Amino acid sequence: MNNNLKDKIESLIIGLGLTSTRFADYIGVNRPIISHILSGRNKPSLEIIQKIVSKFPELGYNWISDDESIDMEIVDQIVKNKDFNALFSSFYSSRESNENKLLDNDAEISNSQASKSGQKTIQKILVFYTDNTFSQFDPYNI
């Protein structure tokens, strides 16, 4: 097994059942940072390692050593932790709910104004985020 830090972080993310974006959100770093680490463009900084260990203290610091592999049994224990799973479900469901409420209100206002005046109606809404990702919403299929 390759014991470089990039591979260990990738194994951790996969073992936790997370996407790289959710992992980045959870440890509190910008999403592109994790993306660049996983692509091999950048190496993880000490700050990133510290953030990972602060969120997953069960790992300790030994796993960053070249002669140590990440202990997947510990990762499995983290996954089984109910608080860990609840955190992600509540964080993302409330975030997505808030985004959908805002978009629903905007779509209703715009569409009601457009239909009264005979103007065009909204077909699709694209939201671009600062991390170069985007979301697409269809106000008629929400």
Cβ(112)–Cβ(105) below 8 Å: no
Distance CA 142, CA 135 (A): 13
Same domain, 44 and 96: no
**Prediction pTM value:** 0.59
**Is 133 within a domain?**
yes
Give me the residue label for tokens 């975030």.
95
Same domain, 24 and 46: yes
Same domain, 112 and 64: no
- Domain of 45 in residue numbering reads as 5-80
pLDDT of 132 strictly over 80:
no
Q: pLDDT tens across 2-52, in order?
A: 568 999 999 999 888 888 998 999 999 999 999 999 999 999 999 999 999
At 81, the pLDDT band (50, 70, 90 cuts) reads confident
Please report the pLDDT score of residue 3 as a whole number: 60
- C-beta neighbour count of 13 within 10 angstroms: 19
Same domain, 73 and 9: yes
**Is 86 within a domain?**
no
Same domain, 67 and 30: yes
Q: pLDDT tens across 84-127, in order?
A: 556 655 555 555 555 555 555 554 544 445 445 566 666 777 77
Cβ(60)–Cβ(70) below 8 Å: no
Please report the pLDDT score of residue 111 as a whole number: 47
What phi and psi, each to the nearest 5 degrees, are found at residue 125? -120, 130
Number of domains forming the structure of the chain: 2
**Is 85 within a domain?**
no
